[in-house]
Homo-oligomer: A and B are copies of this chain.
């Protein structure tokens, strides 16, 4: 004997969520059915609406239910400054700093030949065409500081070598507020190599 078929189906469906194992899925399903059926209904509606209506922005590829996202559509943003990111969540992280007024291009991943993810899947051809149009003066490569992220940034820089714009990579170094003692060796080596003169 196990749960009734519909309850078991719900538990299985909840397991597709990242970080949710069999026990959490059970707890979630029983919580929803015993204490929050209205919430479960709202979640079902939100899921359906999101899946059916959220596509990607035609200009920056971030998740958006409009053909062009709010940022790309805004007249207040500096279109000469283009920041390349791996994911929509990175875009939010940069936006939340409040210190960037340019526009974005979201790769949705990084080059990973082993998984069959090549330049086309990341829209790098679209990015190159956009830069070729000439409006972009500086391209900031803000992929993750991982081997794959570095390789992706390097590849993009190579593809744009024939164009006269400035290409930069976000700085790597010790985190602000961190203590050197707890910084890993690779980061510390980067921080030393990238040292800047104070006078």
A80 on interface, CB distance cutoff 8 Å? no
Q: Specify how many copies of this chain sit in the oligomer.
A: 2
Pick from B33, B49, B88: contact of A6, CB below 8 A: B49
Pick from B9, B12, B65: contact of A4, CB below 8 A: B65
Task: Give per-residue flags for A36-52: 1 if the beta carbon is below 8 A from chain B beta carbons, else 0.
Answer: 11011111111111110
Q: Which residue of chain B lies nearest to A89 when distances are taken between CB atoms in the complex?
A: B30
Q: Please tell me if the beta carbons of A13 and B54 are within 8 angstroms of each other in the complex.
A: no
A156 on interface, CB distance cutoff 8 Å? no
A interface residue count range (under 10 / 10 to 19 / 20 to 34 / 35 or more) = 35 or more
Q: Which residues of B contact A48 (CB under 8 A)?
A: 41, 44
Top-9 shortest CB links A-B: A16-B39, A13-B46, A44-B47, A10-B50, A13-B43, A44-B44, A10-B46, A44-B48, A40-B51
Interface residues of A in 17-73 (CB under 8 A from B): 17-19, 24, 26-34, 36-37, 39-51, 53-54, 63-66, 69-71
Q: Which residues of B contact A185 (CB under 8 A)?
A: none
Q: Please tell me if the beta carbons of B51 and A47 are within 8 angstroms of each other in the complex.
A: no
- A43 and B51 alpha carbons, distance in the complex (Å): 11
- A54 and B53 alpha carbons, distance in the complex (Å): 29
Pick from B4, B44, B50: contact of A51, CB below 8 A: B44
Given contacts A3-B63, A7-B63, A92-B2, contact A51 B34 (CB under 8 A): no
Given contacts A27-B18, A28-B18, contact A4 B47 (CB under 8 A): no
